[in-house]
Amino acid sequence: MAAERTRPTAPRIAPRADIPEELRDVTSVKGSGKQLNIFATLAHAPNVLRRFSQLGGTLLFRTSVGDRERELVILRVGWNCRSVYEFGQHTAIGLDSGITEAEIKALTEDPTAGAWSDKDRALIALADDLCADDCVSDATWAELRKDWNDQQLVELVVCAGFYRMVSGFLNSAGVQLDDGVAGWPV
């Protein structure tokens, strides 16, 4: 295993302060006008931001996978990628989706030690496999197949891959936590 690399402690690409009017609906939290650092940083590439938001919104709000299950995958990917921004943002979403604080902490630990259901353990393994080797193993796939249909398996793998890419962007660009967003669990 490669040695863990450090992450930037300051932005390598500063979030745009001059968000054009036509991008403000894409860069802000719905209804609040508050700009999230991830979107204000992506705003340096408007076409990427628009397509990124479209796919991200689809994965968050328009799939057949339940919110809790999706957030287990995203949080585990964020942990595997050592993306504090991703993990912090999705901690709040995960809590709203029915994941407990104890489960969020357990997502940072060995999954065989937690009190996970077989279904949850398979989702965690999907994230682990994809982050370790860019392929879900046959054993994990067999476990996933017990509970998920083809559409859901596509959605789950694409979700894990998308948030792996997001984590890599956040880490590389040095995107910093937004005010009030928790980082890693204590």
pLDDT in tens, 47-88: 999 999 999 999 999 999 999 999 999 999 999 999 999 999
Please classify residue 6 by burial: count the beta carbons closer than 10 Å to its beta carbon, then call 0-12 exposed, 13-18 middle and 19+ buried: exposed
pLDDT confidence band for 25 (50 / 70 / 90): confident
Within 13 Å, how many C-alpha atoms sit on residue 55's CB side?
A: 14
Residue type, 103: E
Output phi, psi for 35, to 5 deg.
Answer: -85, 125
Q: What pLDDT shows up at residue 3? A: 55
Q: CA 41 to CA 58: how far, in whole Å?
A: 20
Q: CA 39 to CA 175: how far, in whole Å?
A: 10
Do 72 and 119 touch, CB atoms closer than 8 A?
Answer: no
Q: What pLDDT shows up at residue 64? A: 98
Both ends of the chain: CA-CA distance in Å?
25
Residue whose C-alpha is closest to residue 42's, from 60, 30, 54: 54
**CATH 1.20.1290.10 domain extents, the chain:** 65-169
Q: CA 77 to CA 98: how far, in whole Å?
A: 18
Q: What pLDDT shows up at residue 141? A: 98
Q: What pLDDT shows up at residue 31? A: 63
Provide the whole-model pTM.
0.95
pLDDT confidence band for 1 (50 / 70 / 90): very low
CATH fold of the domain at 65-169:
AhpD-like (1.20.1290)
